């Protein structure tokens, strides 16, 4: 794989940082090998998933030890105190190497900006450097069996007992919860308040007595997701992020950052893989296929441009100029388009073939709808855009002002 970047416009400060990153990567990382464009990136066992998680943590620690973690975060919290261009240059140079912080990069992208906005100074001083060094790895404990798309209806109960909350409830679809040592947890602390107003956001040590993690085995053999049971788990009140009963605000920040992260994509060009697929199946000259490839190319470019704008704003701790929900919605729809297009190109071989290309097409087809659900369904994203970006009236509902305990639940 050949990656070239135009460095002629670097300022002297940028050129100096680029040289620092290049020297660091040359000393600490392996150059990326040329992989097949049709290789499937999916774990097939629990051991393989754990090794990938631990490898990501090790790399994050290496970055921290070399002052390359948290490039835009304040020095007093373990960061470098740099600018968004530091992140851009690092990503450009790291693309040549087989390195990644893996799963914890996702939760850092979701939670670190949330802590900077909502946490106390003491909490920032404790959690931010420990997350940047991978001493703390955090899973998301939001969704419940009866509270997925309508997350604010969650029922996991937290009752205050002096300086602690006693938490009892169930969470589900918790990525890497079996590996992480901390969790960001949404709890119901006031059942007499409307559902959005009685929620509290807390950070919980996953080794606390009363926490049980049960992996959910997927068809691949790995367990990316888990269900988590909490039985009278004691959590210090000092672990509350934001205000007691005001947890919906930091939760919304996490969800917005999650949409931006998911919408940012993997950095690989799906269009190039689809174009190569069309070439191998001899349909590159088909006018209909060419038109659909043009659509895939255009969508990929739009995602890149919009994603860069949103992530640059988040790194500056600014409100994104574009609502992240539009990015999440657009990538979900683009994934459906690319999965359908891959099957259209491959034809019967996409369903029955055993070649590397056929397996890739089958994987894309099966997984085309997953991103439409994870991180908030398309319907939720459309509601967010209607209300937040377009200023339309809120979706009517009888339960927005009723006490949570009076709302019927299944």
Nearest by Cα to 105 from 56, 48, 51: 56
Same domain, 288 and 366: yes
Do 268 and 294 belong to one domain?
yes
Is residue 338 within 8 A of residue 368, CB to CB? The reply is yes
> What is the domain-level CATH number for residue 54?
1.10.540
Structural domain of residue 371, as residue ranges?
264-376
Q: Are residues 167 and 70 in the same domain?
A: no
183 domain residue, yes or no: yes
pTM for the structure as a whole = 0.86
Domain boundary among 185, 216, 246: 246
Domain check: are 233 and 273 in the same one? no
Q: Which residue has the higher pLDDT, 205 or 317?
A: 205
Domain membership flag for residue 349? yes
Measured between alpha carbons, how far apart are the two ends of the chain, in Å?
A: 53
Q: Do residue 187 and residue 237 come from a single domain?
A: yes
What are the structure tokens assigned to 340, written together?
């359908």
Which pLDDT score is estimated for 3? 45
Two structure tokens written together for 28: 């600490």
Q: Are residues 225 and 273 in the same domain?
A: no
Q: Are residues 279 and 357 in the same domain?
A: yes
Q: Is residue 77 one of the residues assigned to a domain? A: yes
Domain-embedded: residue 163: yes
Both 268 and 358 in a single domain?
Answer: yes
Give pLDDT tens digits for 7-33: 778 999 999 999 999 999 999 999 988
Last residue of some domain: 101, 117, 146? 101
Token pair listed for 184: 């960001």
| 39 in any annotated domain | yes
Q: Percent of the chain scored above 90 by pLDDT?
A: 63
34 given a catalytic annotation: no
Asked whether residue 312 carries a pLDDT value surpassing 70, the answer given is yes
- What integer pLDDT is reported at residue 6 of this predicted model? 60
Do 25 and 89 reside in the same domain of the chain? yes
Q: In this structure, is residue 17 part of a structural domain?
A: yes
Q: What is the pLDDT of residue 193?
A: 96
Confidence tier at 5 by pLDDT (50, 70, 90): low
Name the active-site residue from 93, 144, 227, 258. Answer: 258
- By DSSP bridging, strand 182-188 and strand 138-141 are parallel
The β-bridge partners of 188 are 157, 199
Q: Is residue 356 part of a domain?
A: yes
Q: Would you tell me how many other CB atoms lie within 10 Å of the CB of residue 27?
A: 8
94 and 150 share a domain? Answer: no
Q: What pLDDT does 161 receive?
A: 97
Residues 274 and 336 in one domain: yes
- Answer whether residue 219 shows pLDDT above 90: no
Q: What is the per-residue pLDDT across 66-99, written as a single tens digit (0 to 9) for each?
A: 999 999 999 999 999 999 899 999 999 998 999 9
Please report whether residue 403 resides in a domain: no
Q: How many domains does the chain have?
A: 3
CATH value at residue 167: 2.40.110.10
């Amino acid at each position: 794989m050949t990656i070239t970047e135009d460095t002629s416009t670097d300022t002297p400060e940028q050129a100096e940082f680029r040289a620092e990153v290049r020297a660091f990567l040359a000393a600490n990382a392996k150059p990326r090998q040329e992989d097949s464009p049709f290789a499937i990136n999916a774990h097939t066992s629990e051991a393989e998933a754990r090794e990938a998680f631990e490898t990501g943590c090790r790399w994050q620690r290496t970055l921290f030890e070399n002052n390359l973690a948290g490039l835009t975060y304040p020095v007093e919290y373990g960061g470098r105190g740099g600018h968004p261009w530091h992140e851009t240059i690092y990503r450009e140079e790291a693309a040549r190497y087989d390195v990644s912080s893996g799963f914890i990069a996702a939760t850092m992208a979701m939670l670190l900006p949330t802590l900077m906005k909502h946490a106390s100074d003491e909490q920032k001083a404790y959690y931010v450097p420990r997350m940047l060094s991978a001493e703390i790895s955090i899973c998301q404990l939001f969704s419940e069996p009866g509270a997925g798309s309508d997350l604010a209806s969650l029922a996991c109960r937290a009752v205050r007992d002096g300086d602690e909350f006693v938490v009892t409830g169930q969470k589900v679809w918790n990525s890497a919860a079996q590996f992480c040592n901390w969790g960001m947890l949404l709890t119901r602390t006031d059942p007499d308040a409307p559902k959005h107003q009685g929620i509290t956001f807390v950070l919980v040590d996953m080794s606390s007595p009363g926490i049980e993690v049960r992996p959910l085995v997927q068809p691949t053999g790995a367990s990316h997701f888990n269900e988590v049971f909490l039985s009278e788990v004691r959590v210090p009140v000092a672990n509350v992020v934001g205000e007691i009963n005001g947890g919906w605000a930091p939760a919304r920040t996490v969800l917005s950052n999650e949409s931006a992260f998911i919408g940012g994509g993997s950095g690989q060009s799906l269009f190039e893989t689809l174009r190569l697929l069309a070439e191998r199946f001899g349909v590159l000259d088909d006018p209909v296929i060419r038109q659909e490839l043009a659509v895939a190319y255009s969508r990929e470019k739009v995602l890149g441009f919009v994603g860069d704008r949103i992530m640059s704003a988040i790194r500056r701790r600014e409100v994104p100029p574009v609502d992240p929900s539009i990015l999440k919605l657009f990538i979900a729809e683009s994934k459906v388009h690319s999965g359908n297009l891959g099957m259209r190109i491959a034809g019967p071989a996409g369903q029955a073939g055993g070649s590397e290309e056929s397996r890739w097409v089958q994987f894309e087809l099966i997984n085309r709808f997953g991103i439409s659900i994870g991180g908030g369904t398309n319907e939720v994203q459309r509601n967010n855009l209607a209300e937040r970006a377009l200023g339309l009236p809120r979706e009517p509902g009888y339960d927005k002002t009723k006490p949570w305990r009076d709302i019927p639940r299944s």
